[in-house]
Amino acid sequence: MELSWILDHLGEEREAAHASVAPPLVRTSNFSFPTVAAFREGLKREFDAPFYSRGHNPTVAILRRKLAAIDGAEDALVLSSGAGAMAAAVIALTSAGDHVVCVQKPYGWTKKLLTDLLARFHVEHTFVDGTDAENYRRACRPTTRLFILESPNSLTFELTDIEAVCRIAKEKGILSICDNSHSGPLFQRTLSMGVDLNMYTASKYINGHADVVAGVITGRKELVRRIMEKEYMTLGAVVSPDDAWLMLRSLRTLPLRMERSAESAAKVATFLGSHPKVAEVLWPFAPGHPQHDLARKQMTRCGALMSVRLKAKDMAGVERFCDGLRYFLMAVSWGGYESLALPTCAFMGPGLPSTELPWDLVRIYIGLEDPDALIDDLDQALARV
């Protein structure tokens, strides 16, 4: 289906909503029935028609249809966070005694899901270096049920050859889920590479305005339905109609925002790559990136997230750089209109858990501001390193 049709028209059924051009925000928890017989019929279809908004809500339903169509998937679920989406999917696909192989250094809460939550319920795991797909095969046990991929990761940008890992999964009858938050559904199409479930946060590019937290799962009807009827409904991490409405609003500009950010990021990466105060730029489409060829093969564009390692003598130099930025807000997350800086040294200090990341690394997200103004800002801040 053509992308702009999906984003601007699919599923809106405007005749049914007073010919309203913007979709209706159906802010209700429950739906009523005129007769007992109708109530009974409603219950039978509680996942597919208005009954109770944890299962089905018309505003959320429009969003689900569009997100499924973007991925060319049969179905999509929207949850109240990306972490909730990953948790619901992984819990749905594993039972006590099962084993999961997961890429090393996944998103922090994916790691905690395996090490803290599922370990308590006797689901075992192995973390592997995903830069060699064969590591997934080597980690397999007779009880392995699920592969978790994330490519690239969102701090140091190691890639996994998604097609190669999915071939191993298929050979062995193992299901796979990929955290596609870095690239989102427009820049990397993991389902067509053989992944069974595509998962990504919608808090980042999809919503894009730094005012919603949500997450998405897409895939085959049968798998998505399995997650919906059990973990989605029992864990109950569903998205509100208001947040779904904001995301529908945001989808109109998704390609424009992502292209602008990606375009500006390429300029910024080039600038940083030749700056004397920068030791290294980590950005998969940079010509020197160790997995550049794989990045070009499986990503249509590279997102607006990169990390720099600064030639600073000490942490104070990194702090002077970050404190001196004017356009870049210091904050977690990314994918919004606003450019951001995330220094790893902010996670280091008394009372904070230890991290293996280098102290001279700053992750930078390029938002929608003027790229030349962003470069000027970086330039003046780099002078303080």
Ligand X SMILES: *Cc1c(COP(=O)(O)O)cnc(C)c1O
**Contact track, ligand X, 330-369, x by CB under 6 A:** ----------------------------------------
Q: What residues numbered 205-234 form the site for ligand X, per CB under 6 A?
A: 213, 215
The pair of structure tokens assigned to 136 is 């997934």
Beta-carbon contacts of 301 under 8 Å, excluding residues fewer than 6 positions away, are 183, 186, 187, 258, 259, 262, 285
Please name the helix (run of DSSP H) or strand (run of DSSP E) that holds residue 85, with its range, or none.
helix 82-92
- Distance between CA 74 and CA 211 in Å, rounded? 28
Decide if residue 82 touches ligand X (CB under 6 A): yes
Binding of residue 327 to ligand X (CB under 6 A): no
Least separation in angstroms between residue 142's CB and ligand X is 29
Binding residues for ligand X restricted to 132-151, rule: CB under 6 A = 150
| Amino acid, res. 49 | A
**The 340-343 sheet, strands edge to edge:** 278-282, 305-310, 361-365, 340-343, 329-330
Q: How far apart are CA 258 and CA 133, in angstroms?
A: 29
Q: Which of 53, 135, 176, 201 binds ligand X (CB under 6 A)?
A: 201
Q: Judged by CB under 6 A, which stretch of 40-48, 112-120, 184-192, 201-209 contacts ligand X?
A: 201-209
By beta-carbon proximity to ligand X, the closer residue of 88 and 375 is 88
154, 218, 264, 291: which one contacts ligand X (CB under 6 A)?
154
Binding of ligand X by 158 (CB under 6 A): no
291 near ligand X, rule: CB under 6 A? no
Residues 172-191 within binding reach of ligand X (CB under 6 A): 179, 181-182
The CB-of-179 to ligand X minimum distance in angstroms stands at 5
Residue 102 CB, nearest approach to ligand X (Å): 12
Nearer to ligand X, 258 or 382 (CB): 258
Long-range residue pairs from 282-285, CB within 8 A, at least 24 positions apart, any chain: 282/156, 282/157, 282/306, 282/307, 282/308, 282/309, 283/157, 283/307, 284/152, 284/157, 284/159
CB atoms within 10 A of CB 209: 15
Alpha carbon distance, N-terminus to C-terminus of the chain: 49
Q: Which residues bind ligand X (CB under 6 A)?
A: 81-83, 107, 150, 154, 179, 181-182, 201, 203-204, 213, 215
